[in-house]
Structure 1
Amino acid sequence: MKSVIRMTAGGPEVLQFVERPVPEPGPGEVRVRMRVSGVNPTDWRSRRRALPPGVIEQVPHQDGSGVIDAVGPQVDPARVGKRVWIWEAAWERPWGTAQQYTLVPDRHAVDLPDHASFELGAALGIPALTAHRTLTVHDGGPGRIAPGTLRGATVLVAGGAGAVGNAAIQLARWAGARVISTVSGPAKGALARAAGAHHVVDYRSQDATTEILAFAPEGVDIIVEVSPGTNSALDISVAARGAVVAYYGGGEDERLSIPVLSSLAANLRWQSVFVYTVPPAAKQQALTDVSAAVDECALRVGEEAGIPLHRFTLERTAEAHVALERGVVGKVLIDIP
């Protein structure tokens, strides 16, 4: 089978396009005939780091979609032939999704309904599960996302044109929240609106605090934050009492400095979100809720949904990594031959 591997840490040049034998699933595993591999910022960042202990070579990418074509012992044989989306394929494992067949634990292959495209399936995973976590960690919240669970809440999504931001907007809208998004220009603003944001603020041409508070005079309840170090002052200025700033990103050298008294008076919570180590019960709830959102067509992909698709062939995986590192706007996908 055709596969992309890396045997060391480094830039895109460490990715090799090779032929490997088709693997056989072990106990509790399924083998997926891949259709689309999704690329996330964590994929190129992890490429720069050493391989996991005991791993000689690793296939990159956590997310993807395809069809189960074989199962190992302890897995229901009826799963063969099921369309699925994959999450965390390569987390502390050698088998990512950038190859024609991959192995994942059974629960890491989630049923994908017939009406949902393989492109959508490959775009779920890390972005959707991260977005779910950011929307469910506030005090007194329902801990789940479903129609009506965020009714009455106001959500601010920083960077609404990004993959996580897009998923957060769509999930928050599905749950009944009022959604504001900040962006860095008109083109990204159009994408945030397409995703479903009620109000979009271009922080480069508008006073973000004024614009946000004009729309939400009592402040925002949940802030989905991609750059907490840069935006901490803005977040404090627009947060309602008891709000949460759920941050999932930041630059390599970004530091978060919080004025204690300002945050103290508002009872703000600063909550980090690293999807790979989210508590198991919360992860399972996210899988359940994201699957329900897909079933109800509440999650979409494509420019009309605010997230343009950038497609590469498997042998051009290194180019896909370069595009993502350079900040391409939208979702990067690898079509598997």
Structure 2
Amino acid sequence: MKAIVYERTGDPSVLELVDRPVPEPAAGEVLVRVAVSGVNPTDWKARRSFPLPVGWQIPGQDGAGVVEAVGTGVDRKLIGERVWIWEAAWQRPWGTSAEYTLVPVRQVVRLGDASFDLGASLGIPFLTAHRCLTAGELLPDSLRPGALADHIVLVQGGAGAVGNAAIQLARWADATVVTTVSSAEKAQLAAAAGASFVINYREQDVVEEVRKIAPDGVHTIVEVSPSRNAATDVQVLRHGGAVCVYADDEPEVGIPIRPLMMVNARWQFVLVYTEPTAAKAHAVRDVAAAAEQGGIRVGVDAGLPLHHHPLAETAAAHQAVENSTVGKVLITTSET
């Protein structure tokens, strides 16, 4: 099989296209012929600095394809199923940037008739967004239509991958969604994703605009830039609300303690890989349901432009994500 492998950390030049034998699934594993691999910021960050688990690594946490074989203890009815994959390369060498990958069975989810492009876009962004929409005191543990009715959600940075996912999931759950963007082009993408209100923070006063929409404040904030937005967040959060931080634009952030204390606010830090087991199970189930019901989409019409690369150009795909390309970067890995 063809696979992208790196044996040392570094820039995209460490990624090599190699031939490897197709692996066999061990007990509890499935072998997936990968059709599309999703690229996330965590992939290039791991490639640059994370230790290699066994001296080599196939990158790629997310993907979609068809189950080709199963190990002992796994229901053989899975063979031939179209699936999406989450966290394939977390503390394991078998990522999704290859024609085949090995995954623990619990990390594949039936995709049904949805596209492989959608399946490869679900893992990191949508599971992260789900956690941000369910971790606060005023929020439900699980999402479904109606779960966020009467809730107002602020998504800081609505044109990013997690921002887009948060908008789509929150709207599927019937929230009112306010989002911030930095340009007219990004405003169009956020609106396409389903945002109820879009604020250009370069041209408008975010606090003033949010308070017009939510005089009592928002229930939760999905936060991409805590160091830049902390002062704004505290002014638009309602009593008992939460700021859910999923990105680290700076290594440290200062927060105004007394104003947050006065409203019993919560700062919730989110890393999808280490979130509580029950929360992860809710997220996988709910994201799968949203995809099945058509509540999640990809493409320009969903505010998430797609950028496809062949497997041999994985280095270019990594560089595109590292350069903050707007939209979803995908790698076509096989002809499944």
State the TM-score bracket (shorter-chain normalisation).
Answer: over 0.9
Q: Do the aligned partners of 1:41 and 1:325 also contact (CA within 8 Å) in 2?
A: yes
CA distance in 2, matches of 1:254, 1:211: 29
Alignment of 1:159-198 (within 5 A): 159-198=157-196
Structure 1 residue 322 corresponds to structure 2 residue 319: yes
- Is the CA contact 1:58–1:95 (under 8 Å) kept in the aligned structure 2? yes
- Which of 296, 300, 308 is matched with 1:311 structurally? 308
Deviations 1:206-238 (A, max 9, x none): 111111111111111110001111100010011
TM-score (normalised: structure 1): 0.98
Which whole-Å deviations, capped at 9, do the CAs of 1:174-221 have from their partners, x for residues lacking one? 111100000011000100000000000000011111111111111111
Measure, in 2, the Cα distance between the counterparts of 1:166 and 1:15: 29
- Structure 2: distance between partners of 1:133 and 1:52: 27
Say how many residue pairs are matched.
334
Tell me the SS of whatever aligns to 2:67.
strand
| Cα distance, 1:140 vs structure 2 | 4.2
Amino acid in structure 2 at the alignment position of 1:14: V
Amino acid at match of 2:280: K
Q: Percent identity?
A: 55
Whether contact under 8 Å (1:59, 1:99) holds in the other structure is yes
Determine whether 1:218 maps to 2:216.
Answer: yes
The amino acid across from 1:122 in the alignment is: A
Q: Describe the superposition over 1:9-63 as per-residue Cα deviations: whole angstroms up to 9, x where unpaired.
A: 110011111111110000000000000000000000011114344x111100100
1:17 matched residue in structure 2: 17
Root-mean-square deviation (Å): 0.8
Instruction: Name 2:140's counterpart in structure 1.
Output: 142
Measured in 1, the distance between the counterparts of 2:217 and 2:182 equals 21
1:250 shift after superposition: 2.0
> Which consecutive segments of 4 or more residues in structure 1 shift more than 6 A?
none
Q: 1:277 aligns with which of 271, 274, 277?
A: 274
On the 8 A contact 1:51/1:58 being kept in 2, the answer is no
Question: 1:120, CA displacement in angstroms?
Answer: 0.1
- Partner of residue 285 from structure 2, selected from 285, 288, 294: 288
The 1-side partners of 2:140 and 2:206 are apart by 29
Spell out, residue by residue over 1:66-97, the C-alpha distance to the aligned partner (whole angstroms, 9 max, x if none).
Answer: 00010011100110000000000000000000
**Is it true that 1:302 corresponds to 2:312 in the alignment?**
no
Unaligned stretches of 5+ residues in structure 2:
none
Correspondence for 1:199 among 190, 197, 201: 197
Distance in 2 of aligned mates of 1:231 and 1:13: 35
Within 5 Å, give how 1:1-337 maps onto structure 2: 1-53=1-53, 55-114=54-113, 116-251=114-249, 253-337=250-334
Query: Per-residue displacement from partner, 1:252-289 (whole Å, max 9, x unpaired)?
Result: x3421011111110111000000000111110011111
Change (3 A) 1:71 1:192: same
CA contact under 8 A between 1:51 and 1:57: conserved in structure 2?
Answer: no
| Contact residue 8 and residue 50 of structure 1 kept, 8 A | no
> Aligned partners of 2:96, 2:156: CA distance in 1, in Å?
29
Residue deviations 1:290-325 (CA, integer Å, cap 9, x gap): 111011000000000000001100000000111111
Query: How many angstroms apart in 1 are the aligned matches of 2:93 and 2:217?
Result: 45
